[in-house]
Structure 1
Amino acid sequence: MKTLPKRLKKGDTVGVIAPSSPPNLENLKKALPFLEELGLNVKMGKSVEEKRGYLAGDDDARLADLHAMFEDPEIAGIICAGGGYGAARYADRIDYAMIKENPKVFWGYSDITFLHTAIGEYADLVTFHGPMLASDVGKDEFHERSARMFGQLFSPFELHYSEEISPLTAIRGGVAEGELVGGNLSLLSSGIGTKFEIDVKDKILLIEDIDEEPYSVDAMLNQLRLVRKFDEVAGIVIGDFKNSEPKKREKSLTLDEVFDDYFSELKVPVVKGFKIGHCEPHFSVPLGVKAQLDGDAKTLTILPGVE
């Protein structure tokens, strides 16, 4: 069992970091009142406003921010400002033993998937796949349901996803139980063959992505297939694949055809259509907790992510 972080309470201070690319500072500024409405104080990481090309400061600066926020006893949780690219560049230098000794809420998605996988594997900590401040919260289209999902950080409650939230399609039926893991498919794929390769044995795998054409999604799924990940999973949750339309439609498979090619013969439940990922609303989930995927009823039930 992974460690559940302590729940947040009003008056707590959360750290804001940019582990990957430079966030849109205007959107970040617009997002801060949301945290204040939740009753939280904010401490900004030092590298949040830094830029080194497509990185929010150099690797040392971003790593130092991550370490500082976990080590600081005044910080109750860490919320990522945005994703982009770059978290994997220092994953092999993170002090996982220190994180394990200082378990706290860690929240983000997209490029942060690499950190979720690494922290789950080496610090045994439950983390949260949810919308980020500059990328999501600070935008006009930020949805009320996305905002409500932050409530799971303040009190432990089971999450239930059904077709009341969005239409779902079962590629394969059946019922599976297991730890929920995964996130952004590109990041899961890039971890293959490294010490941060995702462990999916007897687990429910979540996948989502953005701006990837069907052939590219196909290539990443094929990589997971070739290392036999789909032989080991208990079930698969297919989240949102935003802007994944083919540019040359007449020469492409559809995304649905790609999913059918890889999943229609599996012996485990596979359900698609979840609003998890680069979408609004964005249904936030804890990673590393037990979940049940019911392909017959088309429901996903997830245990609380905080204690």
Structure 2
Amino acid sequence: MTEIPLPPCQLPPPLQPGDLLQVVTPSGAIRELEVFQKGIEIWRSRGYNVQLSDTWDARDGYLAGSDSSRRHQLASAWHNPDYRGILCTRGGYGSARLLENWTWESQHPKWLIGFSDITNLLWSLYDSGICGIHGPVLTTIAAEPEWSINRLFDSVEGRNLAPLTGVGWGGGKVSGRLLPANLTVATHLLGTPIQPPLDGTILALEDVTEAPYRIDRMLTQWRMSGAFKGVCGIALGRFSRCEAPSGIASWTIEEVLRDRLADLGIPIISDLPFGHDGANAALPVGQLVELDGDKGILSWL
């Protein structure tokens, strides 16, 4: 097993029923009101006090309000010591726009939960030494199977997480800090001040509605930029609706992933249960994990 010295990543205090949580919409404008309400009720049914900001349903083009409004939402939730966690409404696009001249400095670190476009916030937070949760947003949690919902609450309430099993590509065992991401969003962070150091990380990647050639293009950029250097292993989730258009000659998404990743010489697991359009297992960002590329098991240390 490869061992690499890793910087610390602070876990926020565990949540417990009765805690005050703030809803923020840092990316795209909300459209899915019914499932959004169901998502809030899931958290409330677990005993949490969920509050909405005054501008949670704002709209400015494809964004959930102006940059200043969304930045104020996020800053107010983050810096207010009364809030113990931040629940993201949805992904879409726009959270990166909030991170110019942004700082996470706070005496009261708290859980931030989301995925897809929320990758921007999770990576920025990780770069500041604080762990978040790559997991269901409020507009997707109601579609999760019971085990996945329970896993999310286990993650934030301080209980141990069960290993996840996929398809091992070989390469043995490796340990490192888990860094989950939507591939498209993460690719657009490469080379920016938001990109955290990747040495000693195990990437957990997923994506949606990207044709195989686009996945190829992104992974080729990772290769050519040297971004994979120092990465210990890769855990692949779901690449949903990533088929080629009908009638156009193409590799499958599975063939692209094998072609662009299998020769990196690191342990890899595919077909893990996280991402869009299906079970989205909560993945704590920055926590130590072990990836067994032979047995196809991702486990928490």
Q: TM-score higher than 0.5 here?
A: yes
Deviation of 1:85 after TM superposition, in Å, equals 0.2
Partner of 1:144: 146
Give 1:178-189 correspondences, 5 Å limit.
178-189=176-187
CA contact (8 A) 2:132 2:285 kept: yes
Rounded to whole Å, the distance in 1 between the matches of 2:109 and 2:297 is 30
Rounded to whole Å, the distance in 2 between the matches of 1:198 and 1:70 is 20
Tell me: CA distance 1:249–1:229, structure 2 relative to 1, closer, same or farther (3 Å).
Answer: farther
Tell me: CA distance 1:208–1:249, structure 2 relative to 1, closer, same or farther (3 Å).
Answer: farther
Partner of 1:13: 20
CA contact (8 A) 1:185 1:208 kept: yes
Deviation of 1:64 after TM superposition, in Å, equals 0.6
Deviations 1:245-280 (A, max 9, x none): 111455111111111111221211011001111132
Farther-moved stretch of structure 1 (287-296 vs 248-257):
248-257
The alignment partner of 2:228 has SS state of helix
CA contact (8 A) 1:172 1:267 kept: no
Deviation of 1:74 after TM superposition, in Å, equals 1.5
CA contact (8 A) 1:21 1:85 kept: yes
CA contact (8 A) 2:115 2:137 kept: yes
Farther-moved stretch of structure 1 (9-18 vs 274-283):
274-283
Farther-moved stretch of structure 1 (101-110 vs 194-203):
194-203
Rounded to whole Å, the distance in 1 between the matches of 2:277 and 2:169 is 21
Matched, 1:114 2:120: yes
Rounded to whole Å, the distance in 2 between the matches of 1:19 and 1:76 is 18
Ranges in structure 1 where 5+ consecutive residues have no aligned partner: 163-167
Ranges in structure 2 where 5+ consecutive residues have no aligned partner: 1-7
Task: State the number of aligned residues.
Answer: 292
Picking from 159, 162, 169, the partner of 2:162 is 159
Q: What is the one-letter code of the residue matched to 1:159?
A: A
Deviation of 1:142 after TM superposition, in Å, equals 3.0
Q: What is the one-letter code of the residue matched to 1:145?
A: W
Rounded to whole Å, the distance in 2 between the matches of 1:15 and 1:73 is 11
Tell me: CA distance 1:87–1:295, structure 2 relative to 1, closer, same or farther (3 Å).
Answer: same
Partner of 1:78: 86
Partner of 2:61: 53
Picking from 105, 128, 133, the partner of 2:133 is 128
Partner of 1:219: 217
Tell me the C-alpha RMSD between the 2 structures: 1.4
Rounded to whole Å, the distance in 1 between the matches of 2:288 and 2:280 is 20
Percent identity for Structure 1 against Structure 2 = 31
Rounded to whole Å, the distance in 2 between the matches of 1:208 and 1:17 is 23
Partner of 2:4: none
Deviation of 1:6 after TM superposition, in Å, equals 0.5
Partner of 1:105: 111
Give 1:183-198 correspondences, 5 Å limit.
183-198=181-196
Deviation of 1:70 after TM superposition, in Å, equals 1.1
